[in-house]
Chain A
Amino acid sequence: MSDPTLLVLASLAEGDKHGYAMLEDIQRFAGVRLGPGTLYGAITRLEERGWIRPLKPADDRRRPYALTPGGREYLEEQLSGLNQIVRTGLRRLKHA
C-alpha cells in the first residue's frame, strides 16, 4: 500500500498527529518515506474531502490533524477492499 492518502488516514487512525509525527509513523508501520510535499498534498486533499480535520496547534506552528467519522468509514472501505485482494492473491499463488 503506497497511496499517500491511505497512509495518512491509517496513521491518524491511531490518534491525532502533526505532519512530522505522521511522516515518522508512516515510515515505521509501512516502511514508506513520504516526501514533505507528498504528505501535504495528501493532507490538502483529505481536508477538502472532509476526511480529516485540523485541530488547534499546540505551539501555533505544528498543527495536528484528526480523522473524521467520514474518513474512518472511507479508510475501513478501502482497507477491506485491499484485504480481499491480498487474500485472493495469496490463495491463487498457493494453488499456482
Chain B
Amino acid sequence: MKSFARWLVGLYPRQWRERYGVEFIALLEDANLKWRDIFDLLRSALEARMNQTALPHIVNLASRDIPNGYELETAVEYPREDGSTLLVRSFHREIDLGDSYITLNHSTRGFEPAQTILVCGKKGEVDGDFRTDQTEMLILQIDGTVQRTEQTVKTWLKYDAIRDRMREKYRSGMAAGLSPDEIHRRILATD
C-alpha cells in the first residue's frame, strides 16, 4: 500500500511536490497506512490542485551591496489556472547620490519582450514620513525609442527601513542555508 501511496503523491501539483514531496514520502514510509488514508491523499491532492494558484514560487532571489546602493535579482514563478506557470524575472539597481538617486529596473514576464525603466529623482522637502521628489522616468522601448515622463512623486520614507530589514533577513537566511522560498516565508511570518 505504501508504494501505491507514494505513486499517489504524483497527483499533487508539481510545485507542491517540489516543496513538500520528500518529507511527505518520508511520512508515508513511517506511518502505518490504512485504506482510508488513500482516500485522504486523493482528497488532499485535489485540494492542493485547486489552491495552487495561491502559491508563487521564488526560483531565484539575490541581493548585492554596491557603492552607494544595492542590486536585487528575482525570478518568481506564478502558477496559472490552466496548470502552466508564468516566470517573471527582474533586475533592480538603486544608487543613492545624497540629494538625488537613480534606479534601474529591467524585467520580463514569460516570453514577453523585456522592459527597462530608468528613474532619476531629485529629493525634495520632507513632510512627516513622506518626501516630495521630482523624477524623470525613461522607459526604454524594444524599438530603440525612449518614452520620457517627468512627475512629482511622494516617497514614503519608512519604506527604506523596511527594505533594509528585509535585505538583512535575506542575508541571514542565505547564511543559514535556507532556500529563497523559505526565506520569503520567514520574512512574511515575522513582518
Interface residues of A (CB under 8 A from B): 18-20, 23, 35-41, 43-44, 47-48, 50-51, 53-54, 56-57, 60-63, 68-70
Contact = CB atoms under 8 A, between A and B. Distances in A.
B20 A36 contact: no
B185 A38 contact: no
Interface in B163-191: 176-178, 182, 185-186, 188-190
Interface stretch (B29-37, B110-118, B133-141): B29-37
Contacts, number: 87
Interface of B: 5, 16, 20, 22-28, 30-31, 33, 36-37, 39-45, 47-48, 51, 54-55, 176-178, 182, 185-186, 188-190
Given A36-B40, A54-B182, A41 B20 contact: no
Contacts of B20: 40, 43-44
B16 A50 contact: no
A44 B185 contact: no
A69 B190 contact: yes
Given A48-B185, A53-B186, A63-B22, 12 more contacts: A18-B26, A19-B24, A19-B30, A23-B31, A35-B37, A36-B27, A37-B37, A40-B27, A41-B47, A44-B51, A47-B185, A53-B182
Contacts of B40: 35-38
Best-surrounded residue of B28, B36, B189 (most CB of chain A within 10 A)? B189
A18 B26 CA distance: 10
A57 B23 contact: yes
Contacts of A50: 185, 188-190
Contacts of B23: 18-19, 57, 61-63
